[in-house]
Amino acid sequence: MTAQAKARPAIKVACIQFEPVFGDVDANLGMMEKHIRTAQAQGASVMILPELADTGYVFHDVDEVGAHAGPIPAGRSAKRLVALAQELKVYIASGLAERDGKSFFNSAILCGPDGYIGKYRKIHLWNREKLYFEPGDMGLPVFDTAIGKLGVAICYDGWFPETFRQMSLKGVELVLIPTNWVPMPGQTRDMEPMANILHKAAAHSNAIYIACADRVGTERGQPFIGSSLIIGPTGRPIAGPASYDGEEILIAEVALDSVADSRKLNERNDVLGDRRPDVYG
């Protein structure tokens, strides 16, 4: 931020950790609205909900996806979230099952006080997702909003450093992560989740804020691990991690103007300025 630039006020970000009901879109939208209103009443102006929050996650086949997915932004889930963002004057990022013609995507919507902003389609599909979702075809967009530059990624995208580096090179300040984390091989409940470790490292190595909203519960035999968190540009959590199995709302204050300064580790080192793309290829 230059000396002449007007400082932006800090904002409050909320990660909403809850348990969707598989296949019950109306019930899930009702829970999502309830939690969003609660977070807004506590001062939050940016809300992140889990991956596939409107439908649940464990589909058996593409026909089940087709029975519940809707277009973005014209579908019922997207319309409801857009209307809610406009009413409450907040930003909402939520995972949704998206239908586009005969294709289906594991997607996320981003909407705000002025309505629909954009969407993201998950690039890195996990396990059985490859049987019924198409891989994302919209790249890694960074949305220039009134509060700052926002990016979106979904779950397994976080296992790839390139996800955060590409958005950072486009100027992203806060990445919103709807996710459905599952236990990694060899990971027990008493261990720090690998997901948390990876996202803390990504926040530090790019000096950005990252907010991860996971789900809880067991769906069709698949357990989820909760542990949502909000991470500052130093790589250290500023809220969370949340519990392993309880519904809760994490809220943290973030100052997006701090991102540029956080990249300067000392008078001679900058985490983006020191890159050597001539060597990396």
Question: Is 134 tagged catalytic?
Answer: no
* Active-site residue flag, 51: yes
Cβ atoms of residues 202 and 164 within 8 Å: yes
Structure token pair of residue 78: 């997207």
Q: Which candidate in 15, 19, 98, 155 is catalytic?
A: 155
Residues 43, 186: Cα–Cα separation, whole Å: 39
Contacts of 276 (CB under 8 A, 6+ apart): none
Catalytic residue among 12, 15, 51, 200: 51
Q: Which residues contact 125 (CB under 8 A, 6 or more apart)?
A: 106, 133, 135, 156
Residues near 9 by beta carbon (within 8 Å), at least 6 away in sequence: none
Q: How many helices (H) and strands (E) does the chain have?
A: 8, 14
Determine the straight-line distance between the first and last CA of the chain, rounded to whole angstroms: 31
Q: Under a CB-based contact definition with an 8 Å cutoff, are residues 219 and 57 in contact?
A: yes
Residue 101: both structure tokens together: 């013609």
129 token code pair: 């997702």
The tokens describing 269, both together, are 């080192």
| Helix (H) or strand (E) segment spanning residue 68 | helix 62-68
- The residues annotated with a catalytic role in the active site are 51, 122, 155
